[in-house]
Structure 1
Amino acid sequence: MDFFTLLSVEEAQARLLAAVRRRMPAERVATAAATGRVTAVPVLAAEDLPPFDRSSVDGYAVRSADTFGASEALPSYLTVTAEIAMGAAPTVPLNPGEAQKIATGGALPEGADAVIMVEHTEQSAPDEIAALRPVSPGENVMHRGEDCRAGEELLPAGRLLRAQEVALLSHAGILEVDVVRRPRVAIISTGDELVPADQVPAPGQIRESNGQALQALVRRDGGEPTFLGLARDDETQILALLQQGMAYDVILISGGSSVGTRDLTSELIGRLGSPGVLVHGVKLKPGKPTILAVADGVPVIGLPGHPVSAQVSYNLFVTPLLRQMQGLSPEPEFRPTVRARLTKNVASATGRTDVVRVRLFRRDGELWAEPVHGKSGLITTLVKADGLVVIPSAREGLLAGDTVEVEVLE
């Protein structure tokens, strides 16, 4: 197989994801700390939710039959026999012709099958109300088990836990939940010109930034990053860090964008284990020199050294990989996107996927996308951009005034 033939983005993604069989094991964490985690197994309800019939409005618990035919012209008069305290079980049963005052969330007394809103009543006497309209059985009532029955599935396996899922688990009394362990990602930066961010660069040197950016992106995607350090463009140093990375679930190595060094990086990755390098170069701008490999079950991704290229390649290949390893679909069902009109022409080569950075703004009530031009080594182009426009490989660019879909940057 010729690994040095450039593949399309879609072919490269498919080849990588098909080769990675590793899935993260389960671990138990406190529900209060589970936001952003993924359920490892289905979560079942231990009890009915809600555990009792409760009111969904402020009003009066009634027997619905006592209100049939009620109107403002001919109200139904009901004797108020009790007020139900919040957080307490009702102690007085409801008899025909009676009502009990109840607040939102209060438990319905025995005999009640509906709640009439306070706005639909009038105080006709100190212990009497006039119902000004009828209510049907079950109206304004949340029935026991209406949310979920005991033993039913609250959440499926593979559900990303947001604030609302955490609230549901807490409501159900589930204080711990089995989630997928975060993928542990080793990050390596290479380059003779790089120095740590806390150092003053000498002439010809620059501060390293990819390691910091990749750590932030890995955390965003549910992973646990570890920066193993900087390596010069030296076989011994790079190989030592790669071998150290084999103790992790994924290895990301950035840098080595020159032809000779890129070939060295690919050759060293190939030494780590089989099947080795799967993809060496992608029909992508920016991000052409991306390397995708698997070594004895550990995915190894070689990202370009230029910051823009590295982040574009990361989003296209590492994000789907980390999602799949956590039991999620590699591609989310939806992405935060907006539709906008281009301010100027954007050129693209047929057969290559181009990712264009754009700035969004409104003019005359319309949303516009202005391309942010700049070389892939200029980090400020990412900071200035609000979103990305992907030009598919079949297109020969876009024209000013075209309506495009913009993926909003997080």
Structure 2
Amino acid sequence: MPEMFTVLPPADALRLLFDQLPPEIRLETVSTLEALDRALAENLLAPSSLPSFPRCTMDGYAVLAEDTFGASESLPAYLTLIGEAPMGRACPLTVASGQAVAVYTGGMLPAGADAVVMVERTQKLDDATIEVLRSVATGENLVEVGEDVREGDSLFQAGHLLRPQDLGGLTALGITSLKVAARPRVAIISTGDEVIPPDRSPAPGQIRDVNSYTISALVSRAGGIPLQRGIIPDDFDALLSAARSALEEADCLVVSAGSSVSTRDLTADVINRLGAPGVLVHGIALRPGKPAILGVCDGKPVIGLPGNPVSAMVVADLFLGPLLRRIQGVGHAPLRRRVGATLTHNIPSAPGREDYVQVRLADRDGRLWAEPVFGKSNLIYTMINSDGMVCVPLNSSGLYRDETVEVELF
């Protein structure tokens, strides 16, 4: 039976899906240690200044900068050494004109001092006298109170994805727990009489389940929790029962295969039975992945993926990833790793659809080249043997050899 779709461009399809999603975000509180890659659910302000005391950034001597003005190796400045600043607590000494206190990196600057002379730029004449061989400016070799962040400063906005450096900055301010978006639970169902678990040996006509595992990995990468709910045969009642059960315990449902318009098309009918409004999009101006389905059932998103592994991964990358970020309230998509490269071959296309073509990168003579890895959408190793993908724009007839393209890395 020929495929007959009323297709939407990918951006329009995603917008239609987002418009039907409820705005509520499930929240939870986690320790800062466990918050890596989580989406912050509150605006954070600095509870105190950082640093909270003036810190020395070099081993040397705390001084009044004006006491060193004009100092040189031929005409050094002479200062009286009155003691040593302890680490980990306030220094009881106060530096007056003509005096110096020995200090160490990270220690608190003694009262009265406004600069630190590096130890390499001094000479110790005796236990009570040093020579300063080069002048320092006010504020040199120290960090002022609040130079990193001041009390009340905005740290992060809700929706920010927390990075390793963010967690370090938060613990430096004593923030040890955070309110974040709960990780969305994504139920994943594979369908097909021919699909078997990967730990079984396939008989003639059977194939091992690939999509449950690639989609689970993509869900984890996007901050979700994958819930594999098995392989369901091509039977309407069996799929409807499994889908209902899976969606009850999850925030989102992904059904792999069954989304092509054919006599065996079950996914769209099942989605329409799971809740209102049901199927929103069946057919996207995309290759591979044209027969994908997007739906919302009683406030929960449902995606029907093509069964071919490459098609499933392309659709999941374009729709499932952004969807999970939307569910977590992420304000903007994280920057993807992209590189510019020169095409080694033409990539044909047809106006009216976006094409995603895998490419292999090679550095030759100091120039980065992108070699298309052409293959059918049921061949998973075309992606495995590639470094990234190139997008042929919606209204383009293709890309040409020696053209500079943007490669989105896997």
Q: TM-score, normalised by structure 1?
A: 0.95
- The answer to whether the 8 A contact 1:274-1:295 is kept is yes
Q: How far apart in 2 are the matches of 1:96 and 1:26? A: 57
Amino acid corresponding to residue 9 of structure 2 in structure 1? S
Secondary structure of 2:384's match?
A: helix
Residue 48 of structure 1, CA deviation = 2.3
Partner residue, 2:293: 291
Matching residue of 1:390: 391
Secondary structure of the structure 1 residue equivalent to 2:326: helix
Quote the residue 2:141 is aligned against: 140
Classify 1:168/1:91 alpha carbon distance in 2 versus 1 (closer, same or farther; 3 Å): same
Aligned partners of 1:207, 1:293: CA distance in 2, in Å?
Answer: 27
Secondary structure class of the residue paired with 1:77: strand
Q: CA RMSD in A?
A: 1.6
Which amino acid is 1:278 matched to? L
Q: 1:4–1:279: 8 Å Cα contact kept in structure 2?
A: no
Instruction: Determine whether 1:110 maps to 2:97.
Output: no
Contact 1:50 1:144 in 2 (8 A): yes
Within-5 A mapping of 1:321-340: 321-329=323-331, 331-332=333-334, 334-340=335-341
Cα distance per residue 1:167-190 (max 9 Å; x no partner): 111111111111111111111111
Letter in 2 for 1:295: C
2:317 to 311, 315, 330: 315
Q: CA deviation at 1:261?
A: 5.4
The within-5 A match list for 1:1-20 is 4-20=5-21
Say if 1:356 and 1:182 are closer, same or farther in 2 by CA, change over 3 A.
same
Counterpart code for 1:130: E
**Structure 1 residue 233: Cα displacement:** 0.9
What displacement does 1:4 show? 4.4
Kept after mapping to 2: 8 A contact 1:233/1:261: no
Return the offset for 1:335: 1.8
Question: Measured at CA, do residues 279 and 258 of structure 1 come closer, stay the same or move farther in structure 2, by a change above 3 Å?
Answer: closer
> Residues 142 and 179 of structure 1: is their aligned pair in 2 closer, same or farther, counting only changes over 3 Å?
same
Say if 2:259 and 2:268, in contact at 8 Å, map to a contact too: no
Give the match for residue 233 of structure 1. 234
Within-5 A mapping of 1:135-214: 135-214=136-215
Aligned mate of 1:275, from 274, 277, 283: 277
CA distance in 2 between counterparts of 1:359 and 1:296 reads 42
1:73-116 CA distance string (max 9 Å, x none): 32211122222232232122112111111111110111111112
Aligned to 1:254: 256
Deviations 1:40-87 (A, max 9, x none): 112233332212111122221111121122233322111222222322
Partner secondary structure for residue 399 of structure 2: coil
Q: In 1, Cα distance between the equivalents of 2:235 and 2:116?
A: 77
Taking every aligned residue pair, what percent have the same amino acid on both sides?
50
Partner letter of residue 150 of structure 1? E
SS, match of residue 48 in structure 1? coil
2:6–2:282 Cα contact (<8 Å) kept: yes
Q: How does 1:82-97 map to 2 (within 5 A)?
A: 82-97=83-98
| Counterparts of 1:152 and 1:399, CA distance in 2 | 50
- After the TM superposition, which segments of 4 or more aligned residues of structure 1 sit over 6 Å from their partners? none
> Residue 45 of structure 1 corresponds to which residue in structure 2?
46
* Partner secondary structure for residue 242 of structure 1: helix
List runs of 5+ in structure 1 lacking aligned partners. Answer: none
- Aligned partners of 1:60 and 1:117 also within 8 Å: yes
CA distance in 2 between counterparts of 1:246 and 1:371 reads 38
Aligned residue type for 1:30: S
Contact 1:340 1:406 in 2 (8 A): yes
**5 Å matches for 1:59-98?**
59-98=60-99
Report the TM-score when normalising by structure 2.
0.95
2:25 paired residue number: 24
Note the C-alpha offset of 1:133.
2.5
